[in-house]
Amino acid sequence: MVRSDVRGDRGRPRVDEPGEQDGDLDPKGDSSGSDGDTDVRVPAQGGRKRRDGGGSRGRAKAPGRPRRRRALRWSATVLAVVILGTAGAGYLYYQHLNGNIKQEKLNLGDTKIAEPTPNAAGQTPLNILLIGSDARDTAENQKLGGAKENFNGPALADVQMLLHLSADRTNMSVVSMPRDTLLDIPKCTDPDSGEVYEALTHSMTNQSLERGGPGCTVATWEKLTGIRIDHFMMVDFSGVVSMADAIGGVPVCVDANIHSHTSDGKGSGLKLEEGTTYIKGKQALQWLRTRYGFEDGSDIARAKAQHQYMNAMVRELRENATITNPNKLRKLAEEATDALTVDEGLGDVAELYDLSMELRKVEPARITMTTMPYTYAGARVVPKEGDAEKLFRLVREDIALDGKDKKKTTTTEEATSDDPAAAKDDIGVLVLNGTMTSTLDPVAGRALTVSRLLVEDGFAKASSSTTTAVVEDKTVVRYPSAELEGDAQAVAKALGVPLSQVEKSTNVSGVTLVVGADWREGKTYEAEKDDDTTPESADALNGANKKACMKVNPAFTW
């Protein structure tokens, strides 16, 4: 994904680019005199303000005034024609850029995750899946991708990153998933051909892209994480090269000379000297694809290198005002729109621009790059039990991975409803099983077990459903309307569930208890204390870290 910085200068774009002055960057990255937070200012379309404030300063009318007025009227007419002509050309170019953007359906699966509840300010988080396709469907992609045996074969999603923008737009989290992660891929339907791809179990995640398109990759992520995905953006080899060229140099670091090349012809071809190098174009693609050459020669190392590049790219775009002239701005617009495949919700230049403005609200110091915690399963990997689910929960609950969220205000006493509870034997309760996690299957019969506990306690109308509920991290009691709030709280108190986990919901028709993943066994509920720290196994990298440097495998030095 690419985002450009555009500065307003009396309505005319200004641009600086890394390397324009003898190939060197301004170390402070501040060629414009600002702190990097830029905006676009559109000059007013009404009349111009007179420099003299509209007064005559006491001057007498000069001879020939009517002639001057005619000249002014003529100038105004010409100016109006120019403005209209420019606006027309701008509109046509806008439509041209829109025509560049390729669109696909967002989600090809059968299940959809409900939208998150807005915060107090009415804001909701934004989740965007970034996909790097290894398609070799054009001459350029074939040349860049190599592996001739895969020419014109089905594309795989070799890069997958979930970008999470917090509801209050103060922080951003990115979670990478190794391409060889083994997981369940849901049933997907190709929106063009109508072909149905049945669900797969224990399959590599990168195969999801060939099952109808990026919408199946989105469905796979939602099934695994329980996170609602709002958009996706996909780019192929040639798209990476063209956009990297348009952006300009991005600094990356290796701790030794590196040449990614094996005796049997494998490797990305990346060749860099020890230290920091500004890369772009084909070299940027090589960096993003390098596996043979970094310390452990795996997809995990490749994800770290991608994180380093993305962080550096964000800093360059913010600090150095890369785009400083109209031609380069137009080039980036052309390359970006031509390179991207997006969902329908982003299939317009205006939508992409609005998204870029939302993303740029986050300072690099509040960006956290992570890799899904994993364990090896032979030569492949699987989500690490406990840690992977914890990372997904933090994203679901919009908790910053850098640990810098403001402390939530809590009260020592829980508010009790003014609505009196009915007698226990008059309260109807439906119990659902929500014990499934991203790494664990649901506990069979759990809803029945807990409903019997309620019956034993006097809730004679308690019953259970054999249907597995949507994943719930915590046990929760829901009620549909105010007159049942007291009944819901009575159920919670009977089981020891905190009243903070009793909530009103229009998705239920009566008091409903969902037994969550935090109560998979036992007859007594014990509320867990939240641990909102990012797992160490996620290998977090802060976006402001300029010292990150990839370790080179000694076998690939020169």
Q: What is the DSSP string of 18-49?
A: TTTBTTB--TT--TTSS-S-----PPPSSPPP
Q: What is the spatial distance between Cα 288 and Cα 305, in angstroms, rounded to a whole number? A: 7
Q: What is the spatial distance between Cα 495 and Cα 556, in angstroms, rounded to a whole number? A: 60
Q: What is the spatial distance between Cα 172 and Cα 535, in angstroms, rounded to a whole number? A: 17
Q: What is the spatial distance between Cα 210 and Cα 23, in angstroms, rounded to a whole number? A: 42
Q: What is the pLDDT along the chain (558 residues), one digit of tens a residue?
A: 433 333 333 333 333 333 333 333 233 333 333 333 333 333 333 333 333 344 444 444 444 555 555 555 555 555 454 444 545 667 777 888 889 999 999 999 998 888 888 888 999 999 999 998 875 455 554 555 444 555 555 788 888 999 999 999 999 999 999 999 999 999 999 999 999 999 999 999 999 999 999 999 999 999 999 899 999 999 877 767 777 777 778 999 999 999 999 998 888 999 999 999 999 888 988 898 898 999 887 889 999 999 999 999 888 877 764 445 566 667 777 877 888 899 999 999 889 889 988 998 999 999 999 999 999 999 999 999 889 999 999 999 999 999 998 754 433 345 566 678 999 999 999 999 999 887 788 899 999 999 999 999 999 999 999 876 667 888 999 999 989 999 999 999 999 999 989 998 888 999 999 999 999 999 999 887 778 999 999 999 999 999 999 999 999 999
Query: What is residue 466's three-state secondary structure?
Result: strand
| Residue 160: partners with Cβ closer than 8 Å, 6 or more residues away | 129, 130, 131, 132, 176, 177, 179, 205, 206, 217, 221
CA-based nearest residue to 176, from 109, 130, 211: 130
In the chain, the amino acid numbered 114 is A
**Alpha helical stretches, state H, 259-342:** 281-289, 299-319, 326-339
Q: What is the spatial distance between Cα 413 and Cα 64, in angstroms, rounded to a whole number? A: 84
**Phi, psi (deg, nearest 5) at residue 175:** -120, 120
Q: What is the spatial distance between Cα 242 and Cα 232, in angstroms, rounded to a whole number? A: 20
In the chain, the amino acid numbered 396 is R
Q: What structural domains does the chain harbor?
A: 90-248+322-405 (3.30.420.590), 424-515 (3.30.70)
Confidence (pTM): 0.69
